Amino acid sequence: MKRGIVFVVVLLVGVSALYFSQRRHESTPVTANAVVAIAADTQRDLTRAPMRLTRLSDREEITVGRELEQQYAIPEDRLTPEEHGLENYVRKVGNAVAANAHRRLPYSFHLVPDRSMINAFSLPGGPVFVGEGLLDLMTSEDQLANILGHEIEHIDHYHCAERVQVEARLRNLNLDILGSIVQIPLQIWEAGYNKDEELEADREGMRLAVLGGYSPYGAVSIFEEFSKLHSEYVIHARSPEEELSQLAIQSLEGYFRSHPLPSERLAQANAVIAHEGWQDRKKQKPFRVEYEVQNGEYLK
Amino acid sequence: MELILVVLALLAAATPFATIYLLWRQYKLRQQLLKLTELSMEVTDGLRRDLLDLKKQVETAAATPHTSAVPAAHKPIETAPAPSEAVLEKPGPVAPPPLARPEQPAVEKRIAVSQPPHRTEEKPAAKPIIPPLAVAPTEHKPSVPAVPPVPPAEKPAPPSPAISTQPSTPAPVAPKLPGAPPIPTSPAAHPPVVHPTAVRVAEPVQVAALRSPATSAPRPTAASAPPPRVTAQQRMKSVFAFEELLGTNWLNKIGIVLVVIGVASFGIYELGQLGAGFRVAVSYAVGAAFLVGGVFLEKRNRYRVFSYALIGGGWSLLFFTTYALKHVEAMQVMSSDTANLILMLVVALAMVVHTLRYRSQVVTGLSFMLAYSTIALSQDRVYSLPAGVILAIGLVAIVIKMGWFELEVFGILSSYGNHLYWLYRIVGPNGAQGRAFEEYHASTVILLFYWIVYRFSYVIRKPKTSVAEHMSTAAAIINTGLLLGAMKFQSVHPEMAFLALLIVGAAEFTFGQIPITRRRREAFVVLSVLGSALMIAAPFFKYSGNHLAILWMVGAEVFLVAGVMFSEVVFRRVGMLTGLLVALHLVFIDFQELMVRRRLNEDLVLDLGVMFALCGAVFYLNQLFIGWRWRQFFDDAPDEQLLISHSYIGGFAAACAAWALCSSDWTAIAFAGIMLALAVLGRRLKSFHLQVQYAAFGLLSLFRVAVVNLHSDIPQYTHVTNRLITLPIIAAAFYITAKFATTDERKDQQTLRWLFAFCGTGLLTALTYYEVPELWQPLAAIAFAVALLEIGQWIGYPALAWHAHLLTGLAIVAAVTADPQGIHNWHTIPWHALGALPVVAGAYWIARRIRVADAGHMNLARVFYSWAATGVMAWVIYEATPEPWIAVAWVAFAIALALVMRKIGYAQLAWQANAVAACAVVRAFTFNMDLEEPLWLYFSLRLATIAIVAAGLYFLSRAATVAGSESRRIVSYLHTFAATGLLAYLAWREMPTWLPAIWAVFAFVLAVVDRRFELEDLRWQAHMLSALAMLRAIGVNLYVLDTWHGVSIRLLSLSLVAVMFYAMSRIIRMPEGLRQRDFHHIYSWAASTLVSLLLWYELKPVSVAVGWAVFGLVLFEYGLWRKTKQFRFQAYVALTASFGRIFFSNLTAGTPGEFWGPRMLTVLPIALILFFVYAQLSEPDAQQDRAFRFDLLLAYLGTGTVAALAYFQFENEWIVTAWATIVLVLFAVSFVLDRPIFLHQALLLTVGTCTRGIMHNLFGASYFAEGNWTGRFFVLGSAIAALLACLPFAFRWRDRMKSKPSSNWIGAIVRHPEQFMFFSPVLLLTLMLAVKMRAEMITMSWGVEALGILIFAFMINERSYRLTGLVLLLASFGKIVCFDMWRGGWTWRDRYITWICVGAAMSFAGFLYTKYREKIRQLL
């Protein structure tokens, strides 16, 4: 009898949970994020110790970064005056933000003149690249400062350097040989980092932006933009077979792109603001690019 | 830096030797202990023998008249019956009375002690009455060692109970009344009779020795008892001995070494305001203090080891300071080399004399080793080398005086090591390499002096044990090796190496031949071999090419002949080993040259050919003549093997000679000739090794034929003269060799013969292949096969039948592959098909004619040939029949074969018919199913042909079987299944949408019919159709979105299939055995699977896991209620799937920052359901489930769910703390509920916690977050605290599980959770300190941790904890030495202060271990 009562209670709890989950309006996507997060977390933890013990020196990192920068950077003479102005704007904000980084590296900032590129990435040793598509999303300079702070912190916290080490090990590259590093494709740098590192870059990037005189709410507003984009583009599986196929794809891709969800990044940004007491720094500067063209020639 | 490097290198080099030395000392002590034990056993045996003699004498005396042998004084006791015998049988106390009471007369003493405590248990006298007093007078056995008479003065009779009860001695005599039964005496009455000392000494031996097999109960004796087993306590003690050795011995020594080197470095490198005199004074003061302190402490036994280290360190420091007076610039206060040399000699002499007082190698060795090390720190001029020479002389004097030969090894290493380091600083790391330097001659003289001193020491010594001799041997070899190494390193004239090696080798060889050396066999062998090796190696540095080989050859022969002449095995072996050297030269030098020259052309290579021929002759002569003439020298290993190796070398040389002297096609002829000659010789000598060699020559010949003689580069069917000439000759050689190839009738010998004959056949076949045209080759091959078969049967060598088999196979292959394009035809039939007919005929002929002794072989051959004929015929049909009707024709052919089989009764034809029918089925499925052309009315060509094939199959299911055959049922099944399969496939082509439902219904109908008529075939076909229906439902209909009258076809078809399956699970007919094993529940499993799939498709993603869990819960309860385990098993699967599902939906559900969101609200109920079901498994009805460990599975899934929830619910940094808290909860739950499963989970999760803590929180933490208090210590500290909080539960678990045995290491961990729960957090804590502390504080924090661990260990009496503290302390020391000292920014002052401080700390630790040694022992 007692067992029966307990069974009924447990059954009711289960059925209630079922009812609750069925009644919930928010749809929960079926993703491999949990497994991927565990795997990526484990992989990162397993590689972090050897990476720490065999870390590149700053000089080596800068050398590698410069070599990659020469490969990816667009020469100034191939930029339009508008793009040139945008790049200068990015450079100005980036230098203000990078002034307070932990490591004194030769940070440099470049524009990728591609409106379809809603992304930014950084290279070891200091180079930072921002896609023009991402700049199109921005409405304030503070957003740009937070994004650049995020990318600078990827460099500052050795995320880029460790990626170089991992890729060199996987591809059996000898970093001492000039030119070997160019075998690492661009997609590796655009792919981003794992969840921990992204969140760390978000936190520390906000700190850099604030120290550079910008509002942390720039991060909040840009993450809200990302969240909108994510909800528009994310695919919700409608059947188990779609779930399985989506899981397979995510398991393969997601392992290498285990970005945190925008909602998580947004939540962390709000938590950091509350923790640091930055609630009064809401005012943001407008996104204003200054340039002048006369007779097709860039003047200012 | 360099000096520290050198010191450490010396330490590192000396440590292995010191370890080996200590192990050797331990071994030696153990050996001494064993010897003492053996001695004790011998004494015991002697005592036993004496006592047996005594017994014999007693028995002899008993056989003689008492009156004649017994003195009058003994007469009153002579009549004692049983008690007297008991005295003999329990004679343990016989001896003691004289010891205890010397004032008593011997007679009374024996009477008094002849009453053992258990005398009443002995049988009454069954033997003649033996008066013990008459036969064992004490003065007759004075030689019994174990019972020495103790003088009264040494054993004054105390007022002991033995004396006080002396008046009771008449009581044991009382039983002397004849016929009186033994009176049981109370134990209290007897102990006073036995003197304690006497019992301790003599009782065990006497009881064992005087026991009478006829009258005494079996009792283990000392000789027959097995050796005592080593108990765990003894093992612990032995381990503790190592700890004690480390704590009380090594810590002291390491500490003193560090302090001495530190003080010496202080003198050399102190760059402050201190003058040379002050440094000298400090150094002398410290040395003197060590010396005085050591001498003072040496008087106390407890601190003797400690004092030895102090004395050694003190003397070394004094010697170094004396040396530094002149030779260390920073301490130089003396200008005269001579005075300093005299002072050093005085100090060295004093050191030798004083340290020898203690007769301790530790003192002497330590002082010398440290003296060498400190001198090495500052040795920079050639004039400072005499210090090493003085030390060497002193050391050799001690070695010869004391026989401490192992010490000399250290001396040799130190002398040469110091010298090499000095050279290294002068000439650089790569040596002189021909560059002259100023000190070369002085260096050479000193090196030679070292060598002569140590060689002199080796030659004149007289080792007393084999171990000492071995140690001396090591020293001798090291001496020469280091001399040569040093000479090479400082080599200025490399061209003199030949002369140097020759001279040193000759000297060593001469040393080995002098009489004093020849008396020591090992020394003779060592020096002779050393000298010979050097002399043999010497030519290598001057000569090359043929000269070197010839020189070595001559040397080898000289040594070999000398060894034979003088009967000296060393010389013989040196000679034979030198022969191997010659072989290496032949292989790697001469043979390479021959290959190079052969690559250029095929000309005659006379010089190499002659040399190879000469070497081959000499080596064969060694083996065949010397080995035969003086065979007594070569009967044992390794001489026999060495001589045999000469034979193989000779073979190799002969082959090379043949290659060099014969070219192109004639090389193979030469190889075949050598093969034939060796075969004849091998048969005569019955030599296995010659057989191996001529077999190798045969292979060489074949290889050469394949490469050269076949001339495969010339187009086929072209006549080549050389091929026509050489191949038959070589084939003939192989056939003749086959005749001589056997030495006896063993099977392997026959195989060898067969192989040679086969090679002959192969050569002729190859000749045929190259010479006969393609379309005629099948005929030629089958004709050759028939001829070989007939010849083999004619000459009585049936093995040739195997050749016929292979040739027949070749004929078939040739027939099938000839003219593949079908160019040549006769009407519509290709010629190659017709050409196959002779093969068929030949195969049938051989099948009829073959006669071999082995019936199995013959039957198998017939089967093979008949199958081959049938196969070729089927191939002919395939070639000639139109495509749509091939399957029909094959079925017809199969029917014909079946009918013929029924007529002639040859069963193989039935199998051939089945095989052909199988081909027809395959053809129908793969070809005829696609035929869409109409044939007649509504009948298509596909329907007609498949119908005919199906009909034929049904006919064959009855006709193509052998009556009474075991396979008849299987064949029938195959045919009917094939027919049913054809029909099912046709249905698929007609109605694909409803196919699973049709198949399920069809299967249900078949099952019903089978249940009614018991047709077994239909039952199995029903199973198969059901399986197909299931697959079709899951693979196709699950994804159908169409509707039928508004209802989903998926729902309808899946429901119908599920219902059919549930019904099938009840009605399907099965053998009772299968039904009892629940095979019919396959259908219920399938139905449940379908239900689960429907849940997956119908519910929201986040609800699926909950739905499966609820479904599993319902299934489980239903299975428990109906006592149907299969439903419970299905529930377990559903619950497991639910657990897996949460990783893909539930764990990432919800909004960030939301605590009570869908993640918690859906995952927690699942965990609750899992634990609830786990709890239900304790019911009696679920016993079988427990046998399958489902309870463990569910418990692990439940805990895993909670752990995974914690992983995703908390911040990454805090996961480790959450898991540690779960570990604590698991420990508490496991202890309260007494369920070890939760203990296991706690241990596993502890591993995960530690791994997570190390990998993520330590090494995965941010590079710049150390300043954060949570990032540094709090998070991991809380996890460590939680883990350590489990220790109380762990200790209670250990107590609870004491009685449970463990069979493996996992069991051991579970039985001792307190170890695991201690070491895990300690590891975490240690690594946390290493990673999170500042670099300068790591060592100190480890020391504090080690101290805390040691205190904790002493508090709770845990030895492993104490060892951990000790190891951590040693790790601190190792870290300083290996890492801290080499870091940049450290000054010399930092270094030597660290050395001194750490040394003092180590010494203090050793002091503490020494002081509390007894207390630690008590803990054992």
pLDDT of residue B1244: 93
Residue % of chain A over a pLDDT of 70: 87
Cα angle at B301 between B296 and B304, to 5 degrees?
60
pLDDT band at B1113 (very low <50, low <70, confident <90, very high): very high
pLDDT of B1146 > 60? The answer is: yes
The segment with the largest mean pLDDT, out of A40-54, A264-278, B863-877, is A264-278
**Which residues from chain A sit within 8 angstroms of residue B1262, using beta carbons?**
157, 200
Q: Is A102 on the interface with B (CB under 8 A)?
A: yes
A contact test, residue of B1048, B1094, B1116, B1145 with most A CBs within 10 A = B1145
Pairing of strands A108-112, A127-131: parallel
Residue % of chain B over a pLDDT of 90: 10
**For B126-143, what is each residue's pLDDT tens digit?**
333 333 333 333 333 333
The alpha carbon of residue B958 is apart from the nearest alpha carbon of chain A, in Å, by 48
**For B897-912, what is each residue's pLDDT tens digit?**
888 788 877 788 788 8
pLDDT of residue B1101: 86
Q: Is A59 on the interface with B (CB under 8 A)?
A: no
CA atoms within 13 Å, Cβ hemisphere of B434: 2
CB–CB contact A247 B1144 (8 Å): yes
CB–CB contact B1207 A263 (8 Å): no
pLDDT band at B232 (very low <50, low <70, confident <90, very high): low
Average pLDDT of the residues in B1247-1251: 92
pLDDT band at B1194 (very low <50, low <70, confident <90, very high): very high
**For B501-554, what is each residue's pLDDT tens digit?**
888 888 888 888 888 887 888 888 888 888 988 888 888 887 766 677 888 888
Cis check for the bond before B105: say yes or no (omega within 30 of 0).
no
Average pLDDT taken over every residue of chain B: 77
Report d(CA B363, CA B383) in Å as an integer.
28
The answer to whether residues A162 and A47 touch, using CB atoms and an 8 Å cutoff, is yes
**Which residues from chain A sit within 8 angstroms of residue B1255, using beta carbons?**
42, 45-46, 48-49
pLDDT of B1015 > 70? The answer is: no
Average pLDDT of the residues in B327-342: 79
In 3D, which of A74, A73, A67 has the Cα closest to residue A181? Answer: A67
pLDDT band at B1420 (very low <50, low <70, confident <90, very high): low
B contact test, residue of A6, A15, A18, A258 with most B CBs within 10 A = A18
pLDDT of B1282 > 90? The answer is: yes
Average pLDDT of the residues in B1052-1067: 82
In 3D, which of B1383, B1362, B1360, B1379 has the Cα closest to residue B1371? Answer: B1379
SS3 B361: helix
The alpha carbon of residue B570 is apart from the nearest alpha carbon of chain A, in Å, by 54
pLDDT band at B264 (very low <50, low <70, confident <90, very high): confident
pLDDT of residue B1283: 94
For B935, other C-beta atoms within 10 Å of its C-beta total: 14
pLDDT of residue A249: 63
The answer to whether residues A154 and A197 touch, using CB atoms and an 8 Å cutoff, is yes
For B487, other C-beta atoms within 10 Å of its C-beta total: 20
- Range with lowest mean pLDDT among B147-151, B884-888, B1064-1068: B147-151
CB–CB contact A48 B1212 (8 Å): no
The segment with the largest mean pLDDT, out of B424-438, B997-1011, B1189-1203, B1266-1280, is B1189-1203
**With a CB-CB cutoff of 8 Å, which residues 237-276 of chain A face chain B?**
237, 239-241, 243, 247, 261, 263-264, 266-268, 271
The alpha carbon of residue A203 is apart from the nearest alpha carbon of chain B, in Å, by 12
CB–CB contact A10 B1117 (8 Å): no
ipTM for the whole complex = 0.80
- Range with lowest mean pLDDT among B111-125, B373-387, B618-632, B1386-1400: B111-125
The segment with the largest mean pLDDT, out of A116-125, B357-366, B375-384, is A116-125
CB–CB contact A45 B1097 (8 Å): no
Cα B120 to Cα B96, B174, B181, B182, B202: the distances in Å are 20, 13, 9, 6, 21
Provide the greatest CA pair distance for chain A: 93
Identify residue B629 by its one-letter amino acid code: R
pLDDT of residue B1193: 92
The answer to whether residues B1213 and B1270 touch, using CB atoms and an 8 Å cutoff, is yes
What angle, 0 to 180 degrees and rounded to 10, lies between the N-to-C axes of helices B545-565 and B606-621?
A: 10
Average pLDDT of the residues in B67-72: 40
B525 versus A194: the higher-pLDDT residue is B525
**Which residues from chain A sit within 8 angstroms of residue B1163, using beta carbons?**
none
Cα B585 to Cα B64, B420, B767: the distances in Å are 86, 33, 40
pLDDT of residue B16: 53
pLDDT band at B150 (very low <50, low <70, confident <90, very high): very low
The answer to whether residues B1028 and B987 touch, using CB atoms and an 8 Å cutoff, is no
Residue % of chain B over a pLDDT of 70: 79
**B841-845 long-range Cβ contacts below 8 angstroms, 24+ apart:** B842/B782, B842/B783, B842/B785, B842/B786, B842/B808, B842/B811, B843/B782, B843/B808, B843/B812, B843/B868, B843/B869, B843/B872, B844/B869, B845/B786
With CA atoms as reference, the chain A residue closest to B1038 would be: A241
Place of tokens 């007779």: A295
